[in-house]
Chains A and B, each alone.
Chain A
Amino acid sequence: MNPSATQALRPPLVDTPRTASQITDDICRPVEAMPTASWYVGFFASVTALCIGAVLVTHEIATGIGTWGLNSTVGWAWDITNFVFWVGIGHAGTLISAILFLFRQKWRTAVNRSAEAMTIFAVMCAGIFPLIHMGRPWLAFWMFPYPNTRGPLWINFRSPLVWDVFAISTYLTVSACFWYIGLLPDLATVRDRARNRVRKFIYGIMSFGWDGSGRTWIRYEMLYLLLAGLATPLVVSVHTVVSFDFATALVPGWHSTIFPPYFVAGAIFSGFAMVLTLMIIARRVMRFENYVTLRHLDAMCKITLVTSLIVALAYAHEAFFAWYSGNNYESFLAINRMRGPFAPEYLVMVTCNVLIPQLLWSKRVRTSPLIIFFISIAINIGMWLERFVIIVISLHRDFLPSSWADYSPTYVEVGTLLGSFGLFFTCFFLFCRVLPMIAIAEVKSVAATPGSGEVASATIIDATPGEGEKP
Chain B
Amino acid sequence: MNSSSHSTKSTEASAASHKPGSGALERLAWAGAIVGGVSLAAALASDPHRAWSALLVHNFYFLSIALMAVAFIAAHAMVRAGWLAVLRRVAESMAGYLIPGAVLMIASLAGARSLYIWADPEIVAADVLLIHKSAYLNLPAFAVRMIVILLVWIGFARALAAAHRARDAAQDRDEKGVAAPWDPSHRVVRVSAAFLVACIATYCLAAADWMLSLEPHWVSTLFPWYAMSSGFAAALAVLTLLAIALRRRGDLPELRPDHLHDLGKYLFAFSIFWAYLFYSQFMLIWYANIPEESAYFDLRGGPWFTLYAINLAINFALPFALVPRAMKRREGLMIFISLAIVLGHWLDFYLMAMPSGFDTPPLGWIEIGTGIGVASIFYLAWLRALRREAVVSAGDPYLAESLEHHVG
Contact = CB atoms under 8 A, between A and B. Distances in A.
B305 interface: no
A244 B287 CA distance: 10
B2 A463 contact: no
A257 B283 CA distance: 9
Interface string B184-223: 1000000000000100110010001000000000011111
Contact of B204 (A317, A318, A325): A317
Given A9-B398, A259-B284, A261-B277, A465 B404 contact: yes
A468 B56 CA distance: 54
A462 B406 CA distance: 12
B222 A466 contact: no
A321 B222 CA distance: 10
B397 interface: yes
Contact of B284 (A255, A327, A464): A255
Contacts of A324: 133, 136, 208, 219
A261 B222 contact: yes
Contacts of B201: 313
B221 A258 contact: yes
Given A2-B175, A461-B401, A8 B221 contact: no
B180 A257 contact: no
Nearest to B4: A1
A8 B174 CA distance: 12
Given A2-B180, A313-B204, A317-B224, A260 B280 contact: yes
Contacts of B398: 9
Contacts of A4: 179-180
**Interface bracket on B:** 35 or more
A273 interface: no
B1 A1 contact: yes
A8 B184 contact: yes
A258 to B, nearest CB: 4
Interface string A258-302: 111100000000000000000000000000000000000000000
B388 interface: no
Interface in A1-49: 1-2, 4-5, 8-10
Contact of A256 (B221, B283, B287): B221
B82 A1 contact: no
B335 interface: no
B308 interface: no
Given A250-B290, A324-B136, A257 B284 contact: yes
**Interface bracket on A:** 35 or more
B400 interface: yes
Given A8-B180, A236-B276, A257 B220 contact: yes
Interface in B1-41: 1-3
Contacts of A244: 283-284
Interface in A354-397: none
Given A5-B397, A257-B222, A464-B400, A249 B288 contact: yes
A164 to B, nearest CB: 15
A156 interface: no
B184 A464 contact: no
Interface in B63-102: 79-80, 82-83
A248 B222 contact: no
B280 A240 contact: yes
A309 B197 contact: yes
Contacts of A8: 180-184
Contact of B132 (A247, A259, A326, A470): A326
B129 interface: yes
B405 interface: yes
B304 interface: no
B198 to A, nearest CB: 11
Contacts of B175: 2, 5
A233 B184 CA distance: 35
Given A321-B219, A324-B219, A257 B400 contact: no
Given A4-B180, A326-B133, A261 B225 contact: yes
Contact of A465 (B79, B128, B174, B406): B406
A471 interface: yes
Nearest to A237: B276
B222 A9 contact: no
B356 interface: no
B200 A313 contact: yes
Contact of B3 (A5, A463, A470): A470
Given A4-B179, A313-B204, A258 B222 contact: yes
Q: Among A257, A261, A318, A326, find the residue whose CB has the most chain B CB atoms closer than 10 A.
A: A257
Nearest to B279: A260
A257 B280 contact: yes
Contacts of A5: 174-175, 180, 397
B246 to A, nearest CB: 23
B216 to A, nearest CB: 9
B318 interface: no
Interface string B370-384: 000000000000000
Interface in A211-244: 233, 236, 240, 244
Contacts of A326: 128-129, 132-133
A261 B204 CA distance: 15
Given A258-B225, A325-B219, A464 B180 contact: no
B114 interface: no
Contacts of A327: 219
Contacts of B406: 463, 465
B149 to A, nearest CB: 15
A248 B284 contact: yes
A465 B277 CA distance: 38
Nearest to A221: B408
Contacts of B220: 257
Nearest to B179: A4
A9 B397 contact: yes
B400 A1 contact: yes
B117 interface: no
A162 to B, nearest CB: 14
Interface string A444-471: 0000000000000000011111100011
Interface in A314-335: 314, 317-318, 321, 324-327
Given A2-B175, A240-B280, A326-B132, A248 B287 contact: yes
B281 interface: yes
A363 B80 CA distance: 16
Given A2-B180, A4-B179, A261-B277, A255 B82 contact: no
Interface string B277-316: 1001101110110100000000000000000000000000
A257 B281 contact: yes
Contacts of A248: 284, 287-288
A311 to B, nearest CB: 13
Interface string B350-390: 00000000000000000000000000000000000000000
A309 B285 CA distance: 26
A326 B216 CA distance: 10
Interface string B256-280: 0000000001000000100011001
A256 B179 CA distance: 54
Contacts of B1: 1-2
Contacts of B285: 257
18 contacts: A2-B1, A2-B175, A5-B180, A8-B182, A236-B276, A240-B276, A248-B288, A255-B290, A257-B221, A257-B223, A261-B280, A324-B208, A462-B82, A463-B83, A464-B401, A465-B404, A465-B406, A471-B2
Given A5-B175, A5-B397, A255-B284, 15 more contacts: A1-B1, A1-B400, A2-B180, A4-B180, A9-B80, A257-B223, A257-B280, A317-B204, A318-B221, A321-B221, A324-B219, A325-B219, A326-B128, A461-B401, A464-B404
Interface of A: 1-2, 4-5, 8-10, 102, 105, 233, 236, 240, 244, 247-250, 255-261, 309, 313-314, 317-318, 321, 324-327, 461-466, 470-471
- CB-CB nearest 4 A-B residue pairs: A257-B222, A258-B221, A5-B180, A260-B280
